[in-house]
Structure 1
Amino acid sequence: MGTTFHGPSPWPHITRAIRTRGPRHAAIAYLGQDAPTLLPLRAGDVLVVNASRAAVRAHATSPAALAHYVAAGVRVLSSPNLHTGVIATGRWAVIGSAGASHSSTISDEAVVITDDPEIVAAVRTFINGIDEITEVDQLFLDNATAIWQIGRAVPLPGIGGRNRAEPDFLPTPVTRMFLWHITHYQPGAAEQHERAAHTSLHSTSAGPAAKYQLEWFRIDTPAGRGRGRLQRGDVLLQVTADNEWLYPPAVVDSDPIAIPHTRTAVAHHLRTRIDLEPIAVTDAEVLLADLGHPGPRLRTDHRIVSASLRAALLRLWNL
């Protein structure tokens, strides 16, 4: 066994150490556009990054690098609280703080590389235990690309004074909440093509368990019936058409996206928590009555204006 220290230019040693057989698990907070050269991952590997809105907008994590890994079959996940750099292969562990970027290669960085099996196992356990995880798929990449184009404007956690970035699922406070019934429809060829282009290319159970995901949500009548237009940050509760099930809150995570060959239909990306289950509407009505809301109007599409009712609805899922 051996343990070696590498600095101030460790990237050639990191790249050499991870060129091994078997799946690699990496947690590298920030990725430059040249990350795939420094960190040559392949299908079956797992990569956790900090691709939060702040990190992407500050150009610390590149959507182009993320897209490269996703296309290569790497399972890519984002954690907004990640601020480290560790890698575990079948034999080696790399421990340090180097980001996979050109700026890292010209900075004074340092890592430890070891083949101690206990440390290798501990690094893999650490990576698999990272929380606040969102799967990076094409929907995520579309959002990240739009954020990247805004430019450098947001400080980074651990650098600009913020200790945790975007740790919460819901906006604080929740001021705009809507209840809409789910509409079942048959998508046309153009829309099927559009949705296929936004579907993740690869999926695997390796690595940390995802807590969040992005979904498509189509609206045929974006305005009307007192609902208004959805905007980024709105909270949406969906009810099945038969008024049987109330789905857990989702957060609108994109501006409206026009559906091809339609006059008014648009789509949004919704951020959802995959660990929350739907509740029977009848059960929800009883629970809300116990919380002081005997007439919550769960069977009617509307904007939920009452702040106390919004809070009571979130309590149904302990949010």
Structure 2
Amino acid sequence: MGTTFHGPSPWPHITRAIRTRGSRRAAIAHLGQDAPTLLPLRGGDVLVVNASRAAVRAHLTSPVALAYYRDAGVRVLSSPELHANVIATDRRAVIGSANASHSSTIAVEGVVITDDPDLVATVRRFIDGIEEVTEVDQVFLDNTVAQWQIGRAVPIPGVSGRGQADPGFLPAKIDRMFLRHIIEFEPGTTEQQAWAAESRHRRGPAGPASKYQLEWFHHDKTDSRLRRGDVLVFISADHAWLHPPAVVDSEAIAIPRSRGAIGHLLRSRTDLDPIPVPVAEQILADLGHPNPGLRADHRIASPSLRAAVLQLWNL
């Protein structure tokens, strides 16, 4: 392999380079909520991150990501002074600017990936030698949840956002909408605390702040068509209620110890109420869709029907 430089979009190269056997060590300053899709660590690995009060309050490091890695068996440590982004496997080292966040994937980043034994050993020693670290245990995680709720997002390119205002709840263009039956899932204590931390107010393009929340959607690997920006509309198992739309807010994330299940984070608005299915069907019929197919899982292919479904909630 040798030593190679990757930029301005190095994350596919980073992810591929660290999918190796043996223990991995990573010192990544900031983690977005979907860091596990970029930085696939496993039990026995070590992750040092800046999960200081300032970083969490600024929404630079997400409690969701911290909880995910802990549940996967990764030893997670926090260093309040950490600003480096380096990774070492048994045979390779990654040295560069990239935080583990979706924002980093759309920023201009640069990294060096090398299999030089001396550099690999040096990076491992650097990570092992980081001082003033704190173990991210349950007490620490509970505190990050509280700090996240107190703070507010500070958009920084490559770290937490594009550096511009929140574009709103729905994507500017909706090409993919799916109708799905609700799957009952009871998250563990850590998940409940972490997911609750992601519920917050954000100021939209105009008007008062709307309340949004993030929640898990768990499903089987055989249903892996979803991607970031897709819109899901859920129907209750008894076909009684049509729930307001939710937007897929992450790529697929493997769920630890779940026998192959995967999940996505969904972003939804808490100020929208479910609608009785018969009422929704009548409204859609009045809008020119007498057979909207609300009682079976499927992709809503018709652009006019997608628009009509959103109109149920004046979206």
Q: TM-score, normalised by structure 2?
A: 0.49
Which structure has the larger Rg over C-alpha atoms? 1
Q: TM-score, normalised by structure 1?
A: 0.48
